[in-house]
Amino acid sequence: MRVRWNHSKLLLFWLTVLAVLAFEAEARKRVRIGLHKNPEPIEDNIKNELKTLSIKHKLKVDDTKATTKTDTKDPGSKVATLKNLYNTEYYTTLGFGNPPQDLKVLIDTGSANLWVLSSKCPDSVAPCANRIKYNSSASTTYRAINTEFNIAYGSNSEEGPIALSGFQSQDTVNFAGYSIENQIFAEITNAPETAFLKSQLDGILGLGFASIAINSITPPFYNLMAQGLVNRSVFSIYLNRNGTNAINGGELILEGSDSGLYSGCLTYVPVSNAGYWQFTMTSANLNGFQFCENCEAILDVGTSLIVVPEQVLDTINQILRVLNPTASNGVFLVDCSSIGDLPDIVFTIARRKFPLKSSDYVLRYGNTCVSGFTSMNGNSLLILGEIFLGAYYTTHDIVYKLIGLAPAIH
């Protein structure tokens, strides 16, 4: 009996060792790319963002149903570490060409194109001055395409739309340890002075559906799947809301999710219109004011705040007792000393409640406190930006068109 027991213990020991080694091997497969934070004050950063907030969320509404199920940790997932710009922008680093040229790109689930500033954009163009720019002549894998590329960003101000222009190119793009061959992207050569004035970014990585890509360019995540570099059509996003930490701003996880970053189980809701990560929200309630009933909402990590219809914003501002209710720039301030007295807002998705505390939806920088709510001309949807996504871990399945949500662990 003792011999048999010793053999059993020995077998258990080696099985444990093998399990640990296997887990460590899977963990080593993860490739992390850093996210950075903007040293500019929150208020200035948001003002600039609202000037360039895209009028991209204009899809029609479809009726859908939602489901809930439990997910587990996905071994072998690839991780791109994010960096946080004072809780208003999250970006990662991509390598363009051979040898790789590292450029900082905003991750944006509300668009589907990849574009970067071009070396052909002169320093006399303000957004291109003193920036790191992609130089095609320094890459051995570059291929010229030269098709024109134009993208227009709308505005909630009177300044009108902001247009960026350039041309398409093709090169190898290194993304979270993967080398995507023959990726088409845009080189921006012209942009107005106000574009990205307070930002450190060199470009944008769109993670939306291919159906909204300008010029029908295949987005990078689709090419990851087409080239067999990933086996699953899922990516997930975890945002670190510590706005003073410029290194660990969160994670963009490819091929699945990490249950160590969220609590409970994921609530799944189907995409109601495959372009943006749009879904049907059951309700939204702030201190008894219900401003959504089976309304359409969009998850957008490229937007800092929660964007509500214009007619809703006035009531929200009254409830939050904003200090500048007539502000025309879309940035509303609240009394920092009153944050603890402000009510929770509760979103109901797939029959599950997703609350935000006032400490979640008020951005604080020193003695300045900014409301997490704004509006945009002509917008009838709820756009849940980083204010919401900082509190909730999200998964995105491009093939099965599913969104998963669970409380993030910080």
Pairing of strands 273-274, 143-153: unpaired
At 404 the pLDDT is 98
Rounded distance, CA 181 to CA 227, Å?
Answer: 8
Residues 396, 383 contacting (CB under 8 angstroms): no
**Paired tokens of 352:** 């599950």
Rounded distance, CA 363 to CA 348, Å?
Answer: 23
* 339-392 pLDDT per residue, tens: 999 999 999 999 999 999 999 999 988 889 999 999 987 778 899 999 999 999
At 250 the pLDDT is 86
Catalytic-role residue among 74, 108, 171, 397:
108
At 160 the pLDDT is 57
Neighbours of 335 (CB within 10 A): 14
Rounded distance, CA 374 to CA 393, Å?
Answer: 22
Q: For this structure, is 74 an active site residue? A: no
At 85 the pLDDT is 62
Rg of the chain over all Cα atoms, to the nearest angstrom = 22
Rounded distance, CA 279 to CA 300, Å?
Answer: 12
Question: Is residue 211 pLDDT above 80, yes or no?
Answer: yes
Q: Average pLDDT of 111-122? A: 95
Backbone angles phi and psi of 42, in degrees to 5: -55, -45
Q: What is the pTM of this model?
A: 0.83
Q: For this structure, is 344 an active site residue? A: no
At 201, is the pLDDT very low, low, confident or very high (cuts 50, 70, 90)?
confident
Rounded distance, CA 378 to CA 71, Å?
Answer: 37
Min mean pLDDT across 68-72, 256-260, 265-269 is at 68-72
Q: Supply the DSSP symbol for 330.
A: S
At 74, is the pLDDT very low, low, confident or very high (cuts 50, 70, 90)?
low
Question: Is residue 28 pLDDT above 80, yes or no?
Answer: no
Domains within the chain, CATH numbers bracketed: 30-56+74-259 (2.40.70.10), 261-407 (2.40.70.10)
Mean pLDDT rounded to a whole number for the chain: 81
At 11, is the pLDDT very low, low, confident or very high (cuts 50, 70, 90)?
very low
Catalytic-role residue among 171, 202, 258, 300:
300
In the chain, % of residues over pLDDT 70: 74
Backbone angles phi and psi of 231, in degrees to 5: -100, -15
At 340 the pLDDT is 95
Question: Is residue 132 pLDDT above 60, yes or no?
Answer: yes
